[in-house]
Structure 1
Amino acid sequence: MSKLTLDRAKEILAKHTTEEHLFHHAAAVSAAMGAMAEAFGEDKDYWAAIGWLHDVDYEKFPDEHCHHVRELLSPEGVDEEDIKAIITHGYEITTDEAEPTSNLEKSLFAVDELTGIIQAYALMRPEKMEGMAVKSLKKKYKDKRFAAKCNREIIDKGVEKLGMELSEVMNYCIKGMTEHSDEIGL
């Protein structure tokens, strides 16, 4: 099996997802993962592909999210290692199958919810992603009523697993999402 590419991930997700907001979320997480890959000196396209596919089973199985990843991706020839990486973002949230251990898995766990807060903040700003500062994002992050559905506990746990500061991870996510703002709808 060959390494998962972003083009292949887009092709696969399109078979299982129809809702525009889920494509915007896929693009946001993909962009954030690409930036995190650069931070770790890893393969940007590959990490972005994992980010793009992370919610592959969400639209069809919202109440069993992460439990149907394998059945959707195995027939597509996606590596078991990639499938496991995707499943880990639901660790202790929707599944206990696999704990995030690699930098890729820990990054996915950390940025998934964080991108939601960044998207919500960008939608409030006339300039959207352009010129977004970590300091002002952190203010919004501390306000629990803002983007209340985005679980800060999960983000904090993910950032801690990475051994990084929240502001560092926010900075990478803003960078990645700004570079791909059109695709994210911002």
Structure 2
Amino acid sequence: MSQRISREEARSLLHEWVESASLRRHCEAVATAMAAYAREGGHDEELWEVTGLLHDADYERYPDLETGHPRHIIAELERRDAPPEMVTAIAAHADALGVPATTPIDHTLRAVDELSGFLVACAMVRPGGIVGLTPKSVKKKLKQPSFAAAVNRDDVRGGADELSVDFDEHVAFVIAALEARADELGLTGT
């Protein structure tokens, strides 16, 4: 029988493993988008949120995708007897592991990961932050290769396909989720 990992336990683990404020913000943004999609689809909101919180928890310590991330957080979650669907979703979000995405939680984590990072980057350069950000302006920024260059554009665009939803609707949905927590996420602008 697996053990639930609470939001509080997940945040404690995240803060223990991650010093970078920007990586913590990314994990919180992904968790926010995951929780919103869980609510929308009638899934286990806390499980999905905690999966988002911890999906990149080992990236700062073990950034090498061939031998490190996400193997170490997966091992830690397995040691804690975390729910198998959480472990599988985190494994499936890392292409290098070759774990196929087969469930809604798997597909959603893959769909919101890079998009959340890109939306945070967009918010950070806007006077209004995330508030008022539109899919149209996000698509315009996506066409600028130098903007948030580390974000994989194919993954951002493929996320909507992964969820079988319209790209603009997907972007608007995640923007709305992040906007609801703009203060906590530091996305209120200047």
In 1, Cα distance between equivalents of 2:144 and 2:40: 28
Specify which structure has the bigger relative contact order, considering alpha-carbon pairs within 8 angstroms and separated by 6 or more residues: 1
Partner of residue 95 from structure 1, selected from 94, 97, 108: 97
Query: Contact 1:110–1:154 at 8 Å: present in 2 too?
Result: yes
Query: Contact 1:35–1:175 at 8 Å: present in 2 too?
Result: no
Task: Tell me if 1:53 matches 2:54.
Answer: yes
Counterpart of 1:179 in structure 2 is 180
Query: Contact 2:48–2:105 at 8 Å: present in 1 too?
Result: yes
Matches within 5 A, 1:1-186: 1-63=2-64, 64-91=68-95, 94-96=96-98, 98-186=99-187
Figure out how many residues of one structure are paired with residues of the other and give that number: 183
In 1, Cα distance between equivalents of 2:74 and 2:123: 33
- Look up the equivalent residue of 1:172 and give its one-letter code: F
Per-residue displacement from partner, 1:124-147 (whole Å, max 9, x unpaired)?
Answer: 111111122222222222333322
Q: Larger deviation: 64-73 or 120-129? A: 64-73
Tell me how far 1:83 sits from its aligned partner.
Answer: 1.0
Per-residue displacement from partner, 1:61-81 (whole Å, max 9, x unpaired)?
Answer: 100212222222222331232
TM-score normalised by L of structure 1: 0.89
Query: Contact 2:3–2:80 at 8 Å: present in 1 too?
Result: no
- Point out where structure 1 has 5 or more consecutive residues left out of the alignment: none
- Point out where structure 2 has 5 or more consecutive residues left out of the alignment: none
In 1, Cα distance between equivalents of 2:163 and 2:36: 14
Query: Contact 1:31–1:179 at 8 Å: present in 2 too?
Result: no
Query: Contact 2:131–2:179 at 8 Å: present in 1 too?
Result: yes
Per-residue displacement from partner, 1:39-72 (whole Å, max 9, x unpaired)?
Answer: 3222322211110110121111100212222222
Tell me how far 1:5 sits from its aligned partner.
Answer: 2.9
Cα 1:77/1:12, change in 2 over 3 Å: farther
Root mean square deviation, CA, Å? 1.7
Query: Contact 1:109–1:155 at 8 Å: present in 2 too?
Result: no
Cα 1:42/1:32, change in 2 over 3 Å: same
Query: Contact 2:111–2:159 at 8 Å: present in 1 too?
Result: yes
Identity %: 33
Query: Contact 2:51–2:86 at 8 Å: present in 1 too?
Result: yes
